[in-house]
Structure 1
Amino acid sequence: MNEYPVLPAQFLETMKQQLGESEWDHFLQALQQPAPVSIRLNPFKGMPAPANGQAIGWSSHAYRLPARPNFTLDPCFHAGAYYVQEASSGFLSHVLNQLALPEAPFALDLCAAPGGKSTLISSFLGDKGLLLANEVIKSRNQVLKENTIKWGLGNTVITQNDPAHFAPLSESFDFVLVDAPCSGEGLFRKDPQSIQEWSPENVHLCQGRQSRILQEAAALPKPGGYLIYSTCTYNPLENEGNVRFLAANFGYKPVEIPIDPAWQISRSECKTEQGVFPVYRFYPHKVPGEGLFMAVLQRPPSEANEKSPKKAKDFRHPHLQRLPGKVRNHPSFPKLDVPEPLSYYQYNNHLFALPSRWVPRFETIAIRLNVQYFGVELGDWVRDTFLPGPAWALSMLPKSSYAREELTREEAIRYLKKEPIALSKADRGWVLVNYKGLGIGWVKNLGNRSNNYYPKEWRIRMD
C-alpha cells in the first residue's frame, strides 16, 4: 500500500471542513488505494459484458474491472468496442435518461476532449440525434477526433472553436454539456501531476475561466433546454460558485435528478436568491470512481415558436462542398444500403457521409464554425477511383461490397502495429480486416503481398 499523497495544506483544510470528521479518515484512506478501473461498452458494436465486471448502476453499459488489463494490446479497444472511462463520469448517462428531451435531440459538448462524455452522448443519441463536440486546443481536438471515429456511430460533428464563437447558434441545442477545465482535485489519486499544479491562485484562475465559458454557453440551450455543468474538482468556488453565477445572470431553474441511495452519491443543495439547486458530488471513499461534481439546470420555456434551420439552396464554403452528382453516380462510388438517406460532402479528396435530415443543422454549423470532422469519412476520391478510409472500416455503415478477413488476436495486433499480415483471400483488391466481427481497417491484397492501410499515427508502439 502506498503512503498518503503529499497534498496541499489548504486543500486538506478545505476538504476536512467539507467532509467532516466522520468521513475525513475514510477519504484519506481512499486516496491511498489504487484508482479503480472501469469501461463503458459501445452498445452498437455488440461486445459482451466482461465476465469479471461489476455493473455500475448509474452508467448504462459500464462495468468496473477487478484489475487494469493491458488495453493497448486489446484489438477490441482499438475497434471502438468500449471506452476506458472512470465510473463517476458515467453519471451523465443517468442524467440524460432523466431529462425531458425530444425524440431526436441536438446536443453540444462544449469542452469535449478527450471524448469520454462525447462518446457517451453519441451512444445515447444513437441513430436519432446529432452531437456537436467542440475542443479549442488543437492537440486535444485530434484525440477527440480519433476516439469519435473509433466509436463509429457517425452522429457527431467535431469543431475547434472558442466558446465565444458559438454566439450565432444561441437557443439551438436541446442540451449543452460544459465539462469545464478545472483545478482537478478529484483526480489527485489518478493523476499525481495535478497535485503539483494545484494552488489557491490556480483555483481562482480556473473559476474565472469556467465563468467565461458559462457566460457563452448559457445562451446556447433552447428555451426549455438544459445546461449540464460538471467538473472533476471538489471546491465550492468552482462548483456552487458557478451555479450561482448561472442562476443570477441567466434565470436558469434547478433540475432534480433522482438517485439510488445505494449508489452513495452525495447530494447537497446550493442556495441562491433564485432558488435551491440540487448538486451532486462523487467522493472516492464512497463510489468506485474519482471525484466529480455535476449540476443540471433548465432554461425557462418560452412561448416563441422554435424555428428549425432549412437547407440552403446554395451551400458556400471555402473548403467543403456538396458532392457532385457525377461522383455519386460513378460506378466506383461506394453503395451504402442504409434505411435513412445519406448526404455526401467533399473536402479536398476526402468524402464524408451524413444523415440527410441533419443537413440543415450541419450546414449552419459549417459556415459559422471551424469543422474538423463530421459524420463518417468514407475515404478518398482520386482520379475517378474510390479508396476506402479507416473511419468507414470502424463505422457502423455497411461495407457489404468488400471481401472480409477475420484476424486472430496475434494477426490483429500485428495489423494495429502497421506490420504486414498474410491474407487467406485469393481475390485481389481491398479487404476489410475484422477482429471478433468488428472492422478495424483495410488491407490492399496484391496477390503475393498486401499493403497495410492502418493510420500511422494510430499504430501500436508497444512491444
Structure 2
Amino acid sequence: MANRSENLPKKFTDRLSGQLSAEDFESFKAAIDGDVPVSYRTNPFKPADIEFSDTTPVPWCDEAKYIAKRPSFAEDPLIFAGAYYVQEASSMFLWQALKQHAPLDKDIKVLDLCAAPGGKSTLINSLLTEKSVLVSNEIVGKRSLPLIDNLVRWGNPNTIVTGSYAESFSQLREYFDVIVTDAPCSGEGMFRKDPKAAGLWSPSLVNSCADVQTDIVNHIPRALKMGGLYIYSTCTFAPEENERRVEQILETGEFEPLDIDLKEEWGITKIEVEKEGVTATGYRFIFHKTKGEGLFLAAFRKKGEEARTQKFSISPKKIKSIFMVRKRESEDLRKWIKNGKDFEFYQDDREDVFAIPSHMVQDFKILSVSQKVRHQGIKIGRFNKKNNQLIPDHELAVSNIAAEDIPRHDVEYRDAINFLKKQEMSMRSIQGVKGWAIITYKGLALGWVKALPNRLNNYYPSELRLRKDV
C-alpha cells in the first residue's frame, strides 16, 4: 500500500480540508493510498474478442470496463489494432453528458479543444454519425503526436487535428454544435495515479492554470452555435479552476446550466454554483466516493436559436485556394478504399495523400486557412516517383475505410508480435499472396507487408514498433 498521503503538499491539504468535511477528508487520505483502478473502453467500429479476466462495467459508460489487475497492454496486439483504449474511468463521464444532451442522431460538428492524448476524442468519435465532423485540437506539438496516433488507430476518417490557441477559434462564429473543453489544470485529481504530479503542485500553478482557463472560457463559446452544448471539465479539485470558471460562464448571460441524471451508487458529488441569480451544478469525482480519479465536469446550453447561416469571417478566396487532387488521379486512389465515391483527396507539401470524406472537405478547407491543421482524414500513402503507383500508408491499413478486396492474412499471436516489433517475417507466414497485403490479428488490421518473389517486407512504421520484450 503506497503512502501517497504523506507526500501531499501542505497547502493543498490545508485547502482541501476546508472544502471537505472532517470525515470526508480522512476518507480521502485513506483512498489516495489505495489501488488505482484500471479501465478500458472498446472501439465500437472494431469489435474484437478481448480477453481480460475479472472485468466489471464502468457504470456511466456503456463501452467501458474495469480490470481487476492491470495487464501488460503492450503485449496485446489488439491495442495496436485500435480494438480498445485504456482510459481513466472518471474521464469517461463525458459519455453521459453527451448521451443526455448532444444531438447525436444528427450530423454535427464537435470541437475537442484540449484533446491530447486522445481519450475524450476517441470517446466522442464513437458516438458521432458517419457524416459528423470531429475537430481535435492540441496546442503542444509533441502532445499532438499520440493524439493523431490514437485517432488513426480508432480508424474513422471524419476527424481533423489542429494545433491552435483558443482565441483562434473565435473567428469561427457559431460553427460548432458541441464544444468540449477538458482544460489544462493543476492535476490534483491525478495525485493518486501519478504521485509526481503532487511534487509539481503549488498555489502559483493553480493560479496560472486558472488564468489559462479564463482565457479559454472568454474565447471558445463564440465558436459555439446558439443552442449548442458546452462541456467544461478539469482533473482538479481547486475552486479557482472549477467553481470560479462556472461562475465566469454564468456571468456572460449566454448560457443555461444543464443537469446530468445520475445514479446514487455512482458516488458522484454534486456541487452547486450560484451566480447572477442562476444555479449551475458541477459534478465532482473524488477518490473515496467514486471508482476513478479526480474530475470536475459541468454542462451548459448556449441560449438562442441556431442561425441559418454561419458567420465565420474567412475569405472565400482563401478557402478556394486549398486544392484537392485532380479527378483523373482520384479515380485510381478510390480503388484503395471502401465507398471511394464518397471521398476526395488532398496532397500536402510532403506529398502525402489523404482521403477526406466529401462531406468534410469544406470544413477541412475552412480550418486549413483559419487554424494550424496537423492532420486530416486518413493518410492513404504517397506516389512512387518511378512508376506513379501508390505506396500505401500504415493509416490506411488500420483504418475503417480500406478496400475490402485488399488481400488480408490473419496471423497467430507470435507472428503478430514479431510483425509489431518490425522483425523479418517468413514467407510461410503469408502464403499465396503477391504484392501488398494487410496483416491482421483476430480479424483486426495491424499494418502492411509486401510479398516479393523471394522475401516478405514488413512495412510496420519504425516509430511505432513494439520495443518491449514479449
Q: After TM superposition, is the score higher than 0.5?
A: yes
Structure 1, 128-137 or 16-25: larger mean CA deviation: 16-25
Structure-2 residue corresponding to 1:294 = 297
Measured in 1, the distance between the counterparts of 2:348 and 2:431 equals 33
Paired letter, 1:406: D
Contact 2:352 2:382 in 1 (8 A): yes
- For the Cα contact (< 8 Å) 2:174–2:223, is it kept in 1? yes
Sort the Cα spacing of 1:324 and 1:65 in 2 relative to 1 into closer, same or farther, 3 A.
same
Match of 1:33 in 2: 34
User: 2:63 is matched with which residue: 48, 53, 61?
Assistant: 61
Matches within 5 A, 1:364-443: 364-383=366-385, 384-422=388-426, 423-443=429-449
Deviation at 1:448, TM superposition (A): 2.1
Q: Is the 8 A contact 2:41 2:63 kept in 1?
A: yes
Q: Which residue of structure 2 aligns with residue 3 of structure 1?
A: 3
Alignment of 1:1-400 (within 5 A): 1-5=1-5, 6-48=7-49, 50-101=52-103, 103-249=106-252, 251-302=254-305, 304-307=307-310, 315-317=319-321, 321-330=323-332, 334-338=335-339, 341-348=342-349, 349-383=351-385, 384-400=388-404
* Cα distance in 2 for residues equivalent to 1:458 and 1:364: 31
| 8 Å contact from structure 1 (residues 433, 439) kept in 2 | yes
2:227–2:306 Cα contact (<8 Å) kept: no
Matched with 1:458 is 464
SS in 1 for 2:403: coil
Task: Give, in angstroms, the shift of residue 20 of structure 1.
Answer: 0.4
Following TM superposition, by how much is the alpha carbon of 1:193 offset from its aligned partner in structure 2, in angstroms?
1.2
State the distance in 2 between where 1:308 and 1:390 align: 38
Runs of at least 5 residues in structure 1 that lack an aligned partner in the other structure: none
Deviation sequence 1:131-166 (CA, Å, 0-9, x none): 000001000011111111111111210011111211
Counterpart code for 2:212 = R
Structure 1 SS opposite 2:222: coil
CA offset at residue 48 of structure 1? 4.3
Mapped to 1, the partners of 2:49 and 2:265 lie a distance apart of 25
Contact 1:248 1:274 in 2 (8 A): no
User: 3-state DSSP class of the match of 1:434?
Assistant: strand
Instruction: Decide which moves more: 48-57 or 282-291.
Output: 48-57
Deviations 1:387-430 (A, max 9, x none): 11111111111332322111111111111111111233233211
Q: Which whole-Å CA distance do the structure 2 matches of 1:234 and 1:115 have between them?
A: 22
Give the Cα–Cα distance (whole angstroms) in 2 for the partners of residues 357 and 311 of structure 1. Answer: 20
- Distance 1:100-1:389 versus aligned 2 partners, 3 A rule: closer
Using the TM superposition, name which of 193-202 and 162-171 deviates more.
Answer: 162-171
SS in 1 for 2:300: strand
Question: Where in structure 1 do 4 or more consecutive aligned residues deviate above 4 Å?
Answer: 48-51, 308-317
**Alpha-carbon distance in structure 2 between the residues aligned to 1:125 and 1:225:** 15
> Could you list the per-position Cα deviations for residues 310-355 of structure 1 after superposition, in whole angstroms to 9, with x for gaps in the alignment?
99798545xx63011121234x763433297122212242221122
Q: Which amino acid aligns with 2:448?
A: W
**Taking structure 1 as reference, are residues 308 and 450 closer, same or farther at Cα in structure 2, changes over 3 Å only?**
farther
- Counterparts of 1:371 and 1:329 in 2: how far apart (Å)? 26
Change (3 A) 1:120 1:289: same
Instruction: Mark the CA change 1:387 to 1:45 in structure 2 (over 3 Å): closer, same or farther.
Output: same
CA contact (8 A) 2:174 2:310 kept: no
Cα shift at 1:100 = 4.5
The secondary structure found in structure 1 opposite 2:252 is: helix
Cα distance in 2 for partners of 1:97, 1:455 equals 36
Gaps of at least 5 residues in structure 2 are none
What is the letter of the counterpart of residue 425 of structure 2? I
Quote the Cα distance in structure 1 between the aligned partners of 2:247 and 2:311.
Answer: 31
Q: Which moved more, 1:240-249 or 1:334-343?
A: 334-343
Q: CA contact under 8 A between 1:311 and 1:360: conserved in structure 2?
A: no
Equivalent-residue separation in structure 2 for 1:57 and 1:339 (angstroms): 39
* Distance in 2 of aligned mates of 1:207 and 1:132: 24
Contact 2:102 2:178 in 1 (8 A): no
Q: CA deviation at 1:289?
A: 0.7
Percent identity, please.
37
